[in-house]
Amino acid sequence: MDNVLVTGAYGGIGTAVCRAYAKLGAHLIIVGRDLDKLNTLKKSLESEFSASTTMQCIDLNQPEQINAMCNTLRKQVGSIDVMVHCAGMMHEAPLMMTRPEEITDLVSTNIISSIQVTQAISKLMIRQKKGAITLMSSIVAKQGAAGQSVYCASKAAIDGLVVSLAQELGALNIRVNAIAPGFIETPLVAHYDDEQRKSLTSKVALKRLGTPNDIAKVACFLSSPAASYITGQIISVDGGLRL
Amino acid sequence: MPAQQTLIEAFAVALEIEPQEVVDSLTYSEHPKWDSTAHMILVAQLEADFDVMFEIDDIIDMSSVKKAKEILTKYQPSLSFDG
């Protein structure tokens, strides 16, 4: 049974990813900073899928908490087979209207913590010379989007991390990929009104908005034996969206 | 198992070398098997075998077997690598 660690586990995409791996019989390590939300998710995964689940309530913006988590996991579960890093945040505003602390928060959450959690978790994959790391990019990393300059920059950084780290860790049989979602119906975009959704849908080739399950299925594929020769890739899951 | 033996086995496994080669003077990048990839494996192996979590500075500084002993002793002062 694979040990699968999911960050941002109770978010829209994170929950779908946890459910998909639970269906596959994985032992889940769910990570987030809200203990109540983690508890709710754990109960749901256990009752619905009889999933073996471990909780780690930490703030990924605190490197010492990441290291403490890894130390605990090394003793509790030994190694990690799969990490799906879903934690992240979005801030939408023109750059001229973005406060310095908002830039720092977004960079810290989306870039620095991604690098640090990947650095720490990859150490739990190295000894077994096997692992799959999947990060979350976004289609706006390449296409850009007005009002999302800092967010887009943070996701472009993820793309750089993935292609570089895949080369560093390839010799250890650890694969590193990213999913670049298009417009996915999650709480992050719950504030979009009907008009905005209609406008976005019209730009999607498949004429529907994405669901968290669309992302979860690709996450499961990327860590499966079927993807054993795939690394350093940014996989768009956007229904053919062109902004 | 004595710390010295644990250390030798960790180096031998991580670097894929003979235990006899694990001596204090064995140095990172001077032995053909101790490259950056092997170093990552070595760090993970030592952390597991000695139940420690190295600081990044210590991972960078771990440039020889002698240095590895010094660093491990910093985390676990009771360790003895005699014999």
pLDDT in tens, A16-33: 999 999 999 999 999 999
Say if B81 falls within a structural domain: no
Under the phi-then-psi rule, with left for phi > 0, alpha for psi from -120 to 50, and beta for the rest, what region is A186? beta
- The predicted complex's ipTM stands at 0.86
Check: CB of residue A166 under 8 Å from CB of residue A235: no
Say if B23 falls within a structural domain: no
Q: What is the mean pLDDT of residues A62-85?
A: 95
Place of tokens 């993970």: B44
Check: CB of residue A216 under 8 Å from CB of residue A134: no
Share above pLDDT 70 across residues of chain A, in percent, rounded to a whole number: 100
Angle (deg, nearest 10), helices A100-107 and A149-169: 20
This prediction's pTM: 0.94
Say if B80 falls within a structural domain: no
Above 70 in pLDDT, residue A99? yes
Q: What is the pLDDT of residue B83?
A: 61
Say if B83 falls within a structural domain: no
Above 90 in pLDDT, residue B29? no
Say if B22 falls within a structural domain: no
CA distance linking residue B15 with residue A196, whole number of Å: 56
Best mutation site among A126, A169, A176 for testing chain B: the one with the most B CBs within 10 Å? A126
Check: CB of residue A58 under 8 Å from CB of residue A68: yes
Chain A nearest-CA residue for B59: A123
Q: A155: pLDDT confidence band, cut at 50, 70 and 90? A: very high
- Domains held by chain B: number: 1
Residues 6+ apart with CB under 8 A from A190: none
Any chain A CB within 8 A of the CB of B53? yes
Instruction: Report CB contact under 8 Å: B37, A172.
Output: yes
Share above pLDDT 70 across residues of chain B, in percent, rounded to a whole number: 99
Q: What is the extent of the structural domain holding B46?
A: 3-17+28-75
Q: What is the pLDDT of residue A242?
A: 80
